[in-house]
Each structure stands twice: as C-alpha cells, then as structure tokens.
Structure 1
C-alpha cells in the first residue's frame, strides 16, 4: 500500500468515526468552513425573524421571516422551520438550510448566525462563495494538514476538540485554478453587501 493510500484510508477512518459519533449523539456536527456550508445548502439568506408561528409540521417549529438579502436562493421564503428545541429570537440572522417537501428547513448543522456576529470578511465572501462551489474543502487533523496528496482540494484544519481551528482558511475562499487545482485565495477589494 502506498503512503498516499494509507493516509487517505486513515483520514476516511477518522471521518467515519467522527460522523458515527455525530449520528449517535444527534446534536454535534463536524465543523465545516462557511463556504462549504454555503455550497451544500439549498438557500442562504439574511433574514429578520419576525415571530414564531403555529406549525403545521408536528416535529418542527415555524417562524415567520422577512428576507433582507438573498445569497443563494431560487424562490422566496416567508416561513422557515427548525427542529423543536432550536429556538430563534427576533432579529437579523444569516440562515442556510434545505428544502424538504416544499418547506424551508434549518437544522442544527446548518448555519444559523446572528448577522452582527459575522466578520466583515465573512460578510464580503457571501457574495463570492458560489465561485468556488466546484471545489471541495476537506477537513484535516494534525499532521494530515501537511499532506500534499490532496492538493486538488482545499484543506481546513480541525483541532482535537473537533473545532474548526484555521484562521487563515476562515479569512479565505477556495477557488479553482490551473489544471483543476483548488487553492485558498484572499480578496482585498472592498466588496460591500447590503
């Protein structure tokens, strides 16, 4: 077995253990880079939570929202649903999620962040993440972050506590380049989202 195959196998084993723990615990998620969450979501919006509504779905809580800005969305959303126990307060949020049976659902592992908590870099990149959705962002742990065999993908460092611990990646966007290689890039131009 080659060195690259052994490392890939070890990385896949670790991820399968981490994902198995995620499924059995039900309330922890493997951390993802914001671009990865963007690309995997059906919608990404800035929205004002207006009020909690009576839900027509017995296991979900309904919220009336007003969409302020669309970053990734194919249709308008006036109501979002969350699992019971995931409470949202009135205010502006960045919300990512998926459509399920025609309704917009935001789960525990989706991005639900008060708008004021976003860094200016993350706010700026929300308008640019779509350009890198053809790239893969893979987690790496410890010494595996130094491996060059995965250079067609962007690596993001996750620490032993399963926390995304890569400030450089959080300040960057993964974009395709020459010969299908994806690499981290920083933009210094002032993109302003409204």
Structure 2
C-alpha cells in the first residue's frame, strides 16, 4: 500500500495547459503536457527574444520567486499587455516548474502569461535558446504561427487517430519521437489553406532564410 501511495504521489505533476502555468506542489519533480511550439505561441500572452542580464531571488511565498532582468531584443506578441519587458518571473524551484536562464550568455525565446502586469514563465512554457530554434520555428514565431491560431493541433499518441474537423492538424511526433521535439514541432506550422482547411505547412524559402538570418541572429 505504501509503495502504491508513493507511485500515486509521483504521478502528480504540474501542467501548463494552453500556455498557462499550473504548479503542483505535491510532486517531487515538474512534468508538463507536450505542446507544439505553435500552440505555445498562440496561448501565450507574451512572446519575446531577450538576453538575460541579471537575477534576484524575491522572498515572496514559501518557495520564493526568481526575478530575471532581461534585455529585450524583439517582441513578437503581447504589445497590448506589456510594451517592453524588463523582468521575467518564475518559481525559484525547478521542481515546481521554475525555469533557469543563464546570465549574460545567450539570447532566449521566452513565452509566458501576464499576471498583475508581470510576465511569468516556467518549464512548461516554450523557452529556448534562440540559436537552437530551426529556421521554420523562427519563421513561425515571426509570422506564421499567428496565421494558425484558429487551427487546432490534435495530438496522436497511438494509432489509429484521425482529424474530426477541417480546423484540425494531426500531430504525430509522439509516435516516432516519443513526443516533442519531433519533426512536425521543428519544421511545420498548422495554418488555414485556401480551401478553408487547416493543414501542415513548411514553406521555408531561400528568401525566408536570408531574412531570418539578417534580422534575427
């Protein structure tokens, strides 16, 4: 019985569903539902590219909050909520879905939600070093993901699985890559086609590569 109870407690996890950070304080580690980068973009209040230049532990609550000071390089989404992001807040504990950024090293893509005028993010949000993003992901963040925010990316965990609406794209990364990040996550966006159906689109052209490399190093 004790072992089964331990397994049940370990099964509890913190989930960011549709871009919202939900923390489970019963779990010993943080785990998250898989999300395609497009969903992460569409369901975030703020999407920016920034360099982290400082941090400070705030003694609020039993676990504390880490406040990262950032130098915003570019904002892709959220102008109406925060015109210029100076600080990013996250749980101080990684076991409670807090995210850790390196200081003065990399440019990051940072996504999150706004609460009381503050940008909050966590391990269940899509945060990645900019240099690690594919050209298709950069193109999506710049423009393409926004075109697909009315589409629904339907995860396929085991066969058979089907789309049930013209607004759905079937996401099969879980079948071949054991989840994110798979080929569709790294190279495709789900957008409306001319016929009114949502479908996967890659479409990174030579012009796209030149533009992205010139404007988003």
**Shift, 1:150, TM fit:** 4.3
Query: What is the aligned partner in structure 1 of residue 131 from structure 2?
Result: 116
Q: Structure 1's 28 and 127: CA in aligned 2 closer, same or farther, altered over 3 A? A: same
Which of these residues, 142, 156, 171, is aligned with residue 140 of structure 1? 156
SS of the equivalent of 2:160 reads helix
**Shift, 1:168, TM fit:** 3.7
Over the residues paired in the alignment, what is the CA RMSD in angstroms? 2.4
Q: Is the aligned partner of 1:87 residue 2:100?
A: yes
Single out whichever of 94-103 and 155-164 deviates more from structure 2. Answer: 155-164
Q: Structure 1's 37 and 96: CA in aligned 2 closer, same or farther, altered over 3 A? A: same
Structure 1: give runs of 5+ residues left out of the alignment.
1-19
| Inter-partner Cα distance in structure 1 for 2:12 and 2:159 | 22
**Shift, 1:49, TM fit:** 0.1
Query: What is the aligned partner in structure 1 of residue 179 from structure 2?
Result: 163
| Inter-partner Cα distance in structure 2 for 1:116 and 1:105 | 22
CA deviation vs aligned residue, 1:93-133 (integer Å, no higher than 9, x gap): 11000001211101221011111211222122211211111
| Inter-partner Cα distance in structure 2 for 1:43 and 1:33 | 16
SS of the equivalent of 1:170 reads helix
How does the TM-score come out when normalised to structure 2?
Answer: 0.71
Judge conservation of contact 2:135–2:204 (CA < 8 Å) in 1: no
SS of the equivalent of 2:142 reads coil
Structure 2: give runs of 5+ residues left out of the alignment.
1-10, 15-23, 94-98
How does the TM-score come out when normalised to structure 1?
Answer: 0.79
Query: What is the aligned partner in structure 2 of residue 5 from structure 1?
Result: none
CA deviation vs aligned residue, 1:113-157 (integer Å, no higher than 9, x gap): 111211222122211211111111121112134x24344301212
Which of these residues, 33, 58, 74, is aligned with residue 30 of structure 1? 33
**Shift, 1:160, TM fit:** 9.0
Which of these residues, 181, 186, 189, is aligned with residue 202 of structure 2? 186
Query: What is the aligned partner in structure 2 of residue 107 from structure 1?
Result: 122
Q: Is the aligned partner of 1:177 residue 2:177?
A: no
| Inter-partner Cα distance in structure 2 for 1:141 and 1:126 | 25
Query: What is the aligned partner in structure 1 of residue 8 from structure 2?
Result: none
Which of these residues, 46, 53, 57, is aligned with residue 56 of structure 2? 53
